[in-house]
Structure 1
Amino acid sequence: MYLENIVFDAVEPRRLGRFWEAALGCERLTDSVDGYETRLTVEGGPVLDLCFQRVPDLSSSEPRLHLDLRGGADQAAETARLLGLGASHLDIGQGDVPWVVLADPEGNPFCVLKDRGAYGDVGPIAALPLDSADPDRDAEFWSWLTGWTPVQGEFRSLSHPSRRGPILELCPEPAPKRTAKNRIHLDIRLESGDRPDAVGAGIAERGGHEIQPGWGELPWRIYADPSGNELCVLPARS
């Protein structure tokens, strides 16, 4: 199993996808009004696809997963570039902090960080902070699911075995997960030899559970991690 996708719900997938493609320097995969995909390849590290799927309305729930971007050598210049692409400043009560909080064209918050040694080889996405009711427990859950391994950080953190690419940070949640679906979630891809039922059993053993949204038969399965954050498990590629 491996982490394959960062998935955004979007009212206008093409508009949002093109913003993030330009922001991160990704390679376009698919382009339609109903779905947009673009690929981030971290040299020597993971390949992550950013997928934008059409929804009629965006969830009003507080974001539990967001992107932290590297500010590079000049945080102010990078912030200006992102504003020029369609981002906007966002006040979430952050106060005086060393990062800049922005919103993408559909209001999803993200941060632009100052350059730090911990993010030296991560690529344009420095971190994927995910709210967690129990970071120790959830770090073990996501490590088993993705194959990513612990690294030192402010929070319980996981990194691709190459030590390149974004860091998955399990952050203490400010409030328990509500019933509304997260706007952004992660997809896991099975590999040849992974058995879907066994993976589902492993998720349940580690505190997650399967979600049955009533959308008919799908080629993937939908789960929640132990803190309630949605994720999808995709079948192995033929």
Structure 2
Amino acid sequence: MVLENINVQARDPQRTGEFWACALGLVDAGMSEPDLFEGRLELGDFWLDLCIERVPDPPPPSWRLHLDLLGGDAEEQAAVVERLLGLGATRADIGQGDVPWVVLADPDGNAFCVMDQRPAYRNTGPIAALPLDSADPERDGAFYAALTGWVPAQGIGPVSLRHPSLRGPLLELCPEPEPKIRQNRTHLDVRPEPGGPDQAGLVELALSLGATRATEDWAQGQPWVVLRDPSGNELCVLSDPGTP
């Protein structure tokens, strides 16, 4: 199994996708269409796709899963912020107060952070981390390690995972400030790999580790299976390789 996509909802996926393509240096993943933008972040031994899907009326922005971009020292961070503002980002106040990182929002209102300099952010590429709110970081860290093959790594949160190459972003399991109350606008997609569990097997593994199936109408009738992790965060299990 492999962590394949970071999936973001937006009213205008092409405009939002163009912003992120420039912000992150994404290459064309060959999957874009009017209602979907898909750009690929090449990370040496592996890649991650940023998928932005059209949702006419997405839920309010949620910070439970978001992107922390690589910044650096004060001068480097300021330069990254100015470049992103020039691409169409806006400054955002989500109640962060006096913090060393800078909170911005993409053209569709999805908040993200430009981080300060930290030793853990070595060889991450432009996305330093993917912070994910969790009711139990140790439990959810074990859950995502089993589903993605990512391994424990030194990070900022109480539990951090990373691709086995120790390159690319950190998946940070962070204590949630409050229980999840609505659908996340950003979620992760995992896909089965040859030689491992197929889609059905991966779904059963997730369920055995505390996931639940999403029962809403919007989650039905797709080639992927929509689950919620043990803390309620949406997660999709994609179809087997070679199938639509």
Q: Which category of TM-score, normalised to the shorter sequence, fits these structures?
A: over 0.9
Indicate conservation of the 8 Å contact 1:200/1:210, yes or no. Answer: no
Q: How far apart, in 2, do the equivalents of 1:206 and 1:99 lie?
A: 34
How much does 1:72 deviate? 4.0
Q: How far apart, in 2, do the equivalents of 1:115 and 1:154 lie?
A: 12
Q: How far apart, in 2, do the equivalents of 1:120 and 1:33 lie?
A: 36
What CA deviation, in whole Å up to 9, does each residue of 1:156-210 have, x standing for no partner? Answer: 10010000000000000011011x2110000001112423332222111111111
What CA deviation, in whole Å up to 9, does each residue of 1:2-55 have, x standing for no partner? Answer: 1000001110000011101100000023433211110001123x3000001111
Structure 2: give runs of 5+ residues left out of the alignment.
none
Alignment TM-score, normalising by the size of structure 1: 0.95
Q: In percent, how many aligned pairs have the same letter? A: 55
RMSD (Å), alpha carbons: 1.4
Alignment TM-score, normalising by the size of structure 2: 0.92
Greater shift in the superposed pair: 116-125 or 139-148: 116-125
Q: How far apart, in 2, do the equivalents of 1:140 and 1:38 lie?
A: 28
Indicate conservation of the 8 Å contact 2:130/2:172, yes or no. Answer: yes
Q: How far apart, in 1, do the equivalents of 2:205 and 2:24 lie?
A: 34
How much does 1:214 deviate? 2.8
Residue 231 (structure 1) aligned with residue 238 (structure 2):
no
How much does 1:114 deviate? 2.0
Q: How far apart, in 1, do the equivalents of 2:26 and 2:221 lie?
A: 31
Within the candidate set 210, 213, 216, 2:216 is matched to 213
Aligned letter for 1:223?
L
**Residue matched to 2:70:** 70
Moved over 6 A (4+): none
**Residue matched to 1:176:** 179
Q: How far apart, in 1, do the equivalents of 2:6 and 2:97 lie?
A: 28
Indicate conservation of the 8 Å contact 1:61/1:181, yes or no. Answer: no
Number of aligned positions between the proteins? 236
Indicate conservation of the 8 Å contact 1:2/1:146, yes or no. Answer: yes
Q: How far apart, in 2, do the equivalents of 1:62 and 1:219 lie?
A: 25
Q: How far apart, in 2, do the equivalents of 1:217 and 1:175 lie?
A: 31
Q: How far apart, in 2, do the equivalents of 1:82 and 1:72 lie?
A: 15
Q: How far apart, in 1, do the equivalents of 2:51 and 2:155 lie?
A: 27
Indicate conservation of the 8 Å contact 2:61/2:110, yes or no. Answer: no
